[in-house]
Structure 1
Amino acid sequence: MPIAQLPSRDAAVEAQVFWLRFQKEIAAALILLIVAAVGFAAYRFYINRRNSTAAELLGRAKNPHDYQEVITSYPATPAGASAYLLLAEMQRNEKKFAEANATLQLFVDKYPERDFVPTARLAMAANLESMGKTDEALSIYQQVAVKYANTYNGPLALISQVPLLKATNRIEDARRVCEEILTKYRMPGPQIEGTRDDRMETIWAGEAMRQLRSLKPPERPKPAPGAASLPARPPGPGVPPMIAAPTAPIPAAAPTAGAMSPAGAPTPKKPK
């Protein structure tokens, strides 16, 4: 039985038919793609131009008013974020520690994901330290040390606590911080069981060792007063008690010739 063959179709004819049926839709899609590409290019040009202008303005800033202008005019640019930090540094140099902390707090609140947030927090702690607010400064140092332990700011926050703890006579806390640095921030080297510790010293471990050597040694507990006069403890079970050896009585000295008797009369001489 002969097999019926399907009629062959020309591909060019099919493409032409497809174009005639969907030419409007295809043209609209192409126009949208072109408009999107042009819009993205224009947006990138605008962003680059804006960032460049903000950077130029930041480079010319010389006083707090100039930095504030960059912050106000270009808030969403890298230069605008940097202006906060530079303004806070200028305020700190002018001994305006409270204003500097207010500026740094604005930076932290507005750019919480920036890489310089832990640096800003450490600067706030340093300003509090300059204002004599030791407890608040220690609190920030401790928060940074915990939250950013795997960054450069973690060990820096730890070692910054040591002078404050020493100044407040919290020697044991300072020693604990130094030991924590030695535990966490020493680069591991080749370790062989039964040999000495060959871990490489980092700058943080070296500073911790220096601070640790400057601390007073831990005080030993003093004995209670009168401990030396307490009676000796009774011997344990199975141990015979110690008995003092008896001492011989000391004989009285014989009276010498010419010595006076108790009654005041001269002592008689012995007969020959």
Structure 2
Amino acid sequence: MSSPATESTRMIELLAWVEVNKKKLLIGAAIGAVAIGAWSIYGWHRNQAEAEANAALFKVDAPGTGPENTPGPSAETFLQVAARYPGTSAGGRALLFAADALFRAGKFGEAKTQFENFLRDYAEHPLAATAAFGVGACLDAMNKTNEALVAYQDVLTRHGTSAVAAQAKLGLARLYETQNTPAQALKLYDEVARLGAQSGWATEAAMQRDRLVSRHPELAKTNAPAAVAAEVVTNAPVADASKLAPTNLATGGQSNPK
């Protein structure tokens, strides 16, 4: 146990050190105070920007929310919101809405650019999977088969549990059919069909599966029909890329095929 004399000596040494380093301590405290203040101001401005971005996006109707025959907001309108509020969550959603509007207008190249811009600027955003699928759908719609295959595969690799994974599998399956590899297509149709009520795309997958088997009876010998809780139409047409377009972008939820 230390003696009173020893404790007193240590206290004197500490006071002496503080006196010698007083200037450094004051500077360090000032820097810390400035850093805390700057961070607080940054947080306040960021919250303000998010609130303003949400309000701006709210003023612009999301695609599909108006009357059926009423044209939705233009891509330019959404791009203005995205440009005015970069780095905000609402700004990111606005960018996706713009890409979706361009896709629906048949401007697949421009839509692809905006989906890619989203992935570049909002890589960690919860809707990154939707944007990645959007890139694949655009390439698919432009008949760039090999690039679309890579893009759809990338969705499954990076976002295999996302809401758009089923759509990516349907896109892949259809492209496999065009490349005359029906067995690979059948495997993907089966995977989606087995999701049943978990996916709004299960019925579509089952329809495409039965159509494929009707054209390639040899596949039925080794593949049992996938179970789904809906009636299957065996002569259903092959789904085109536009039906696999990313939808419901505001929430990232899946949409049923039309």
Letter of the structure 2 residue corresponding to residue 172 of structure 1: A
Superposition pairs of residues 156-175 of structure 1, within 5 angstroms: 156-165=167-176, 170-175=181-186
Root mean square deviation of aligned Cα: 3.9
Superposition pairs of residues 207-218 of structure 1, within 5 angstroms: 207=203, 208-209=205-206, 211-214=208-211, 215-216=213-214, 217-218=217-218
Aligned residues of 1:186 and 1:205 also touching (Cα < 8 A): no
Q: Is the alpha carbon distance of 1:109 and 1:40 closer, same or farther for their aligned partners in structure 2, counting shifts above 3 Å?
A: closer
Aligned partner of 1:105 in structure 2 is 116
Aligned partner of 1:146 in structure 2 is 157
- 1:41 CA drift (Å): 0.9
Aligned residues of 1:165 and 1:173 also touching (Cα < 8 A): yes
Aligned residues of 1:146 and 1:154 also touching (Cα < 8 A): no
Aligned partner of 2:55 in structure 1 is 56
Seq. identity, %: 22
Q: Is the alpha carbon distance of 1:8 and 1:123 closer, same or farther for their aligned partners in structure 2, counting shifts above 3 Å?
A: closer
Output the CA distance in 1 between the equivalents of 2:21 and 2:152: 66
- 1:86 CA drift (Å): 0.8
Aligned residues of 2:149 and 2:172 also touching (Cα < 8 A): yes
Question: Do structure 1's residue 89 and structure 2's residue 100 form an aligned pair?
Answer: yes
Which structure's CA Rg is the greater one? 1
Q: Quick one: higher RCO (CA 8 Å, sep 6+), 1 or 2?
A: 2
Q: Is the alpha carbon distance of 1:137 and 1:23 closer, same or farther for their aligned partners in structure 2, counting shifts above 3 Å?
A: closer
Aligned residues of 2:167 and 2:201 also touching (Cα < 8 A): no
Q: Secondary structure at 1:114's aligned position in 2?
A: coil
Deviations 1:205-256 (A, max 9, x none): 9555554344222179xxxxxxxxxxxxxxxxxxxxxxxxxxxxxxxxxxxx
TM-score w.r.t. structure 1 length? 0.57
Aligned residues of 1:159 and 1:204 also touching (Cα < 8 A): no
Q: Is the alpha carbon distance of 1:19 and 1:135 closer, same or farther for their aligned partners in structure 2, counting shifts above 3 Å?
A: closer
- 1:162 CA drift (Å): 3.3
Output the CA distance in 2 between the equivalents of 1:22 and 1:112: 46
Letter of the structure 2 residue corresponding to residue 161 of structure 1: L
Aligned partner of 2:187 in structure 1 is 176
The range that moved more, 146-155 or 48-57, is: 146-155
Aligned partner of 2:244 in structure 1 is none
The range that moved more, 22-31 or 127-136, is: 127-136
Aligned partner of 1:229 in structure 2 is none
- 1:40 CA drift (Å): 1.4
Question: Do structure 1's residue 23 and structure 2's residue 32 form an aligned pair?
Answer: no
Aligned partner of 2:33 in structure 1 is 34
Q: Is the alpha carbon distance of 1:12 and 1:156 closer, same or farther for their aligned partners in structure 2, counting shifts above 3 Å?
A: same
Output the CA distance in 2 between the equivalents of 1:6 and 1:177: 81
Deviations 1:99-142 (A, max 9, x none): 22222222233334433233123223334444555555444323
Letter of the structure 2 residue corresponding to residue 218 of structure 1: E
TM-score w.r.t. structure 2 length? 0.59
Aligned residues of 2:166 and 2:199 also touching (Cα < 8 A): no
Output the CA distance in 2 between the equivalents of 1:87 and 1:105: 12
Structure 2's unaligned 5+ residue stretches are: 61-72, 221-258
Letter of the structure 2 residue corresponding to residue 114 of structure 1: H
Deviations 1:120-177 (A, max 9, x none): 2322333444455555544432332334334443343113333455577653332233
Aligned partner of 2:46 in structure 1 is 47
Letter of the structure 2 residue corresponding to residue 95 of structure 1: G
